[in-house]
Amino acid sequence: MNKVKSIMSWNAFPSLLLFLVFLGINGFITGGLSLSFFKSFTATNAAAVCVAIGVTATILVAGTDISLGSIVSLVNVVIVTLCQKGYAVLAAVLIALGCALLCGMINGFIIGIMRVNPLLTTFATSTAFAGIALWILPYPGGSIDFSFGDWYGSSLFGMIPMPIVMIGILLLIWGIVRNVPAGTHIYALGRDIKKAYASGINVTGLRFFVHTFAGLAAGIAGICISANTCAGSPTVGSSMSMNSIAAAVIGGVSLNGGTGGISGGIFGAAFLSILISIVVSANLSSVVQSLIQGLILLVGVVFSIIAADKELKQKIKHLLKARGGMI
Amino acid sequence: MEKIKRLNNPYVPAIIGSIALMVLGQTLSSGFLSMNNISSILMITAILTMASIGQAAVIISGDSGLDMSIGAIMSMTALFGPMIVIGSGGVSFAFMIPATILMGAIVGLLNGIGVQILKIVPLVMTLIMSNVVNGFTIFITKGQPSVTVSHELQSISQTLVGPLRILPTAVIVILIVLEVFFLRKSRYGRMLFLVGNNCNAAQLCGISSKIVVISAYAFAGASAGLGGLMLVGYAGTAQMNMASGYTMLSVAAVVIGGTKLTGGKGTFIGGALGSLVLILITTILQALNMAAGLRSLIQGIILIAILMANSREPKLRQ
């Protein structure tokens, strides 16, 4: 019973529940869930999950990052352009990953060291990064050697699909950070920046690290998307930044910082992805699709916020108790 | 010393910035300061100013208030406004103005209810609302906007009033009236500042902070709705999501104009000056005939520079 309770009060529980329910609905609509569905689902949506992990990390320190979508586009464009120029795929990928890290560091420098508001900073940098992407590749096009796509479709040791490995790399880094003092410091910083500073926490360094981590996450997301599509587009990530923030909130991560965890971002992003795939596979006319998507998103956020609201829960409990007494 | 102190008001960076940009524009391409170019700059500035007025009201209301649905509302009213046809062109134009204001206000009201009653963080609530509004627009127009902008509506960007066209003139009048009689002198304006500064204190003073904040969002929606009508009148045609860029531009304009994102402080006129700076940057870069990507890159870098110069947070040690 205690275990059930601790799961129920877990921040990411509502998003997990939403994900599972909608996974079931999806199975109902498409007639059963198959292994191939999961494979293509993870391959398509690993990028969204990676971006959500990055954004969640920045939200935990009471910041935010809306430039990640632009970094994803930039990484995609860099990989495609370098491949066209005859670089080996691996070299292109590593250079692009370096670019993403650099972008994250720029964000971290302006937010951490120059102390500018994160939302405004990342808006400005996202304009700049998207501009670079558009400058390098003005029109969608180009292609990457299909062996890259095959590698992405393969499995590590024949067991773990590559998309999961990519997410796993991020989780591993985050897991290491959580188990050193800096992990606790991140939460302290998110809860109350002044008290954190007074306790001797390196605020500047942590902010810098978190945004660099977000840049890395966006870089990995860009690799996933490039491998999945094997084509270049300067606007491929433009809708990702905002969606990932919504995903984090559905996953129980408080935008005020210090509450929630990476798992919330992952399940939130998974829920959003399954939502999109349901709306597409439900055979609705394309005209109503985006309206329905928006409405379900709204309901999802309201649901997860109400589920996280302790006061409201108490009220409901009281109500239930009163009912029970009467019966 | 007194003079320097008086100069240290929030408008100064925006004013200096816009003068510097005008000089830069003139040196880079002669004819930048011609009457024709200035009036077209003022026209776009007027539209962005409408968006920034609403954004400023929401930001002043505090509690990390932010309206990310302004672009979606503007796109919606830009598409729906010209569809209103009642009798002759003049009559339907007269109906368009209150109708677009009402449409925007309804969306803003929903935003406010979500933020204040459902307790959703403003950033996320308005972001999702913009998704819903965009979806609604696609649903109603069936994804194929076929808008004929009537002659009366187009005339707002063509008729001259003195040296200026009618649209910027109207916006300047609206701006000053709102700044002085709505934000500074009205009962509601004072309540808005108090709620933004300290919500608990306002509550203890007997102000219903919820209603004040909800009406701030409704006001933002209304001004964005009117801005959308102006945009379609200026552009002459309407497209899906034509105003999506205005959301973040309005936030940036308000911040450049000296309003802090923490709330409780701010002006509408500052937002107008910030809009002027942003539009000047865009126009100069367009006049230089650069590639779209390079333009966006330079715009981003200039924006970062302005932010680093203008809105750094104080050191934690203090």
Count Cβ–Cβ pairs < 8 Å, chain A vs chain B: 156
For A271, the domain range is 38-283
- What pLDDT is recorded for position A60? 92
Closest approach of A35 to chain B, Cα-based (Å):
32
Average pLDDT, chain B: 85
Yes or no, beta carbons of B121 and A249 under 8 Å apart: yes
A253-305, pLDDT tens digit by residue? Answer: 888 888 888 998 999 999 988 888 888 877 777 778 788 878 888 888 887 77
Kindly state whether residue A244 falls inside one of the protein's structural domains.
yes
Between CA B118 and CA B110 the distance in angstroms is 10
- What pLDDT is recorded for position B157? 73
Select from A99, A298, A306 the residue whose CB has the most chain B CBs within 10 Å, as the one to mutate to test that interface: A298
Kindly state whether residue A3 falls inside one of the protein's structural domains.
no
Residue B5 has pLDDT above 60, yes or no: no
- Determine contact: A199 vs chain B, CB below 8 A: no
- Determine contact: A289 vs chain B, CB below 8 A: yes
Please give the residue of chain A at the shortest CA–CA distance from B127.
A242
What percent of chain A lies above the pLDDT cut of 70? 94
- Determine contact: B299 vs chain A, CB below 8 A: yes
Q: Return the CATH class of domain B27-309.
A: mainly alpha
Residue A73 has pLDDT above 80, yes or no: yes
Does residue A281 or residue B285 have the better pLDDT?
B285
Nearest to A135 among B68, B134, B291 (CB): B291
- Determine contact: B245 vs chain A, CB below 8 A: no
Nearest to A297 among B131, B255, B301 (CB): B131
Residue B174 has pLDDT above 90, yes or no: no
**CA distance to A6, A11, A306, B34, B81, per residue, from A316 (Å):** 18, 18, 11, 67, 44
Q: For residue A12, what are its two tokens?
A: 């990411």
Contact A267, A16 (CB under 8 A): yes
A131-185, pLDDT tens digit by residue? Answer: 999 999 988 888 888 888 888 887 777 778 888 999 999 999 999 999 999 889 9
B44-94, pLDDT tens digit by residue? Answer: 899 999 999 999 999 999 888 889 899 999 999 998 888 877 777 778 888
What's the whole-model pTM score?
A: 0.86
Write down the domain spans for chain B.
Answer: 27-309
Yes or no, beta carbons of A294 and B296 under 8 Å apart: no
Kindly state whether residue A31 falls inside one of the protein's structural domains.
no
Does residue A122 or residue A8 have the better pLDDT?
A122
B10-27, pLDDT tens digit by residue? Answer: 777 788 888 888 888 888
Kindly state whether residue A291 falls inside one of the protein's structural domains.
no
- Collapsed DSSP state (helix, strand, coil) of residue B165: strand
Closest approach of A66 to chain B, Cα-based (Å):
11
A17-63, pLDDT tens digit by residue? Answer: 888 888 888 888 877 677 788 888 888 899 999 999 999 999 999 88
Between CA A250 and CA A307 the distance in angstroms is 10
- What pLDDT is recorded for position A17? 85
What percent of chain B lies above the pLDDT cut of 70? 96
Yes or no, beta carbons of B135 and A291 under 8 Å apart: yes
- Determine contact: A246 vs chain B, CB below 8 A: yes
Residue B107 has pLDDT above 90, yes or no: yes
Yes or no, beta carbons of B129 and A298 under 8 Å apart: yes
Number of independent structural domains in chain A:
1
- Determine contact: B121 vs chain A, CB below 8 A: yes
Between CA A168 and CA A161 the distance in angstroms is 11
Q: If you average pLDDT over residues B162-177, what whole number do you get?
A: 80
Task: Please tell me which of A136-140, A149-153, A318-322, B240-244 the model is most confident about, judged by mean pLDDT.
Answer: A136-140
Yes or no, beta carbons of B300 and A197 under 8 Å apart: no
Kindly state whether residue A325 falls inside one of the protein's structural domains.
no
Does residue B279 or residue A39 have the better pLDDT?
B279
Helix (H) or strand (E) holding B47: helix B35-60
Runs of H (alpha helix) within chain A: 2-8, 13-30, 35-60, 68-84, 89-108, 118-136, 146-153, 162-178, 181-191, 193-198, 203-229, 240-250, 262-281, 286-308, 310-326
Kindly state whether residue A167 falls inside one of the protein's structural domains.
yes
- Determine contact: A239 vs chain B, CB below 8 A: no
Does residue A132 or residue B314 have the better pLDDT?
A132
Closest approach of B218 to chain A, Cα-based (Å):
19
- What pLDDT is recorded for position A236? 87
Kindly state whether residue A317 falls inside one of the protein's structural domains.
no
Nearest to A290 among B134, B291, B299 (CB): B134
Predicted ipTM? 0.83
- Determine contact: B290 vs chain A, CB below 8 A: no
Yes or no, beta carbons of B124 and A255 under 8 Å apart: yes
Which of these ranges, A106-120, A169-183, B168-182, has the smallest mean pLDDT? B168-182
- What pLDDT is recorded for position B4? 55
Please give the residue of chain A at the shortest CA–CA distance from B118.
A302
Please give the residue of chain B at the shortest CA–CA distance from A133.
B293
**CA distance to A53, A249, A290, B177, per residue, from A49 (Å):** 6, 13, 20, 48
Does residue A193 or residue A310 have the better pLDDT?
A193
Yes or no, beta carbons of B132 and A132 under 8 Å apart: no
Closest approach of B250 to chain A, Cα-based (Å):
11
Contact B220, B213 (CB under 8 A): no
Kindly state whether residue A53 falls inside one of the protein's structural domains.
yes
Yes or no, beta carbons of A120 and B300 under 8 Å apart: no
State chain A's maximal CA–CA distance in angstroms.
Answer: 77
Which CATH number belongs to the domain containing residue A89 in this structure? 1.10.3470
- What pLDDT is recorded for position B144? 78
- Determine contact: B295 vs chain A, CB below 8 A: yes
Task: Please tell me which of A99-113, A232-246, B117-131 the model is most confident about, judged by mean pLDDT.
Answer: A99-113
Nearest to B124 among A126, A127, A249 (CB): A249
Q: If you average pLDDT over residues B241-258, what whole number do you get?
A: 86
- What pLDDT is recorded for position A258? 81
Burial-class residue A118 by CB neighbours within 10 Å (0-12, 13-18, 19+).
Answer: buried
- What pLDDT is recorded for position A324? 61
Query: Which is nearest to A145 in space by CA: A59, A219, A232, A37?
Result: A232
- Determine contact: A179 vs chain B, CB below 8 A: no
Between CA A130 and CA A117 the distance in angstroms is 20
- What pLDDT is recorded for position A8? 66
Which of these ranges, A107-121, B23-37, B199-213, has the smallest mean pLDDT? B23-37
- What pLDDT is recorded for position A128? 93
- What pLDDT is recorded for position B247? 87
Q: Tell me the residue length of chain A.
A: 327
Contact A185, A206 (CB under 8 A): yes
